[in-house]
Structure 1
Amino acid sequence: MQLAMPAAHEDAARRFYGDILGLKELPKPADLATRGGVWFSCGAVQLHLGVEKEFRPALKAHPGLVVDRLAPLVAALTEAGHNVKHDVPIAGFTRIFTDDPFGNRIELLEPNR
């Protein structure tokens, strides 16, 4: 899946997706690296952040990332200054929404056990 980001903000993407959410950064192919952006793995899925010249955040469309433990992520997001929004529950999951540093909407879901 791909989200857009503004140019020259790769470090902010690494802090949010790598340091806070714990996604593993993937090396971009050399012929694409000059375009900017950052790639991450999330289980079997890859999340690509690509630079968009006239960037506008995705305010409604969003990825939903399944996590093992939501509470520590909520604490880390809050500590880092990211808003956490609770929404109506859906069967089998506890979930929240947050925004990445660029305003893209991100859903985090923890399976109920």
Structure 2
Amino acid sequence: MFVMLAALDHVQLAAPAGSEDVLRSFYLAALQMTEIPKPAGLTRRGGCWFAAADGGRLEIHVGIEDGFRPPRKAHPAVRVTGLDALAARLEQHGAPVVWGVSLPTHRRFYTQDPVGNRLEFLEPLT
């Protein structure tokens, strides 16, 4: 049987217990995502799920992890349009914006969510 990997469905990040409200503030206001309901069997575990507000095919699930420590290097990379506007909006919400070395085909920066998860945003060069 032939198997083909088709698409990335979602990215799972971790967070400490009780951080859902601060995460909602960041993902809903700063990144302008929408919260999507978790399936009934998973709600008791805490955490929250988000999707691109524009109907894009991007989901970020944040789950609660005992002994959470944010990863120093691992991160999802999200391709965007309007990279400079996103950087400005993140800075307005108090999130750090650290520009990375441009790739041959993209400009990019890194930020952190309120619990320290590293996120990369990049935009193709025109």
Tell me how far 1:93 sits from its aligned partner.
1.3
Q: Given that residues 101 and 107 in structure 2 are in contact (C-alpha distance below 8 angstroms), is that contact kept between their aligned partners in structure 1?
A: no
Tell me how far 1:46 sits from its aligned partner.
2.1
Tell me how far 1:94 sits from its aligned partner.
1.1
User: CA–CA distance in 2 between the matches of 1:18 and 1:112?
Assistant: 27
Q: Residue 95 of structure 1: SS of its match in structure 2?
A: strand
Tell me how far 1:45 sits from its aligned partner.
3.4
Tell me how far 1:97 sits from its aligned partner.
0.3
Q: Given that residues 95 and 111 in structure 2 are in contact (C-alpha distance below 8 angstroms), is that contact kept between their aligned partners in structure 1?
A: yes
TM-score (norm 2): 0.83
2:83 pairs with 1:70: yes
Cα offsets for 1:21-43 (capped at 9, x unmatched): 12222110111111110111243
Q: What is the aligned counterpart of 1:20 among 30, 40, 44?
A: 30
User: What is residue 12 of structure 2 aligned with on the other side?
Assistant: 2
Q: Which runs of 5+ in 2 are unaligned?
A: 1-10
Greater gyration radius: 2
Structure 1 ranges of 4+ moved more than 3 A: none
Q: Residue 66 of structure 2: SS of its match in structure 1?
A: coil
2:69 pairs with 1:59: no
Q: Cα RMSD over matched residues?
A: 1.3
Matches for 1:1-113 after TM superposition, within 5 Å? 1-42=11-52, 43-113=56-126
Q: Which residue identity does 1:69 align to in structure 2?
A: G
Paired positions, count: 113
Q: Which residue identity does 1:63 align to in structure 2?
A: P
Percent identity at matched positions? 46
Tell me how far 1:99 sits from its aligned partner.
0.7
Tell me how far 1:95 sits from its aligned partner.
0.4
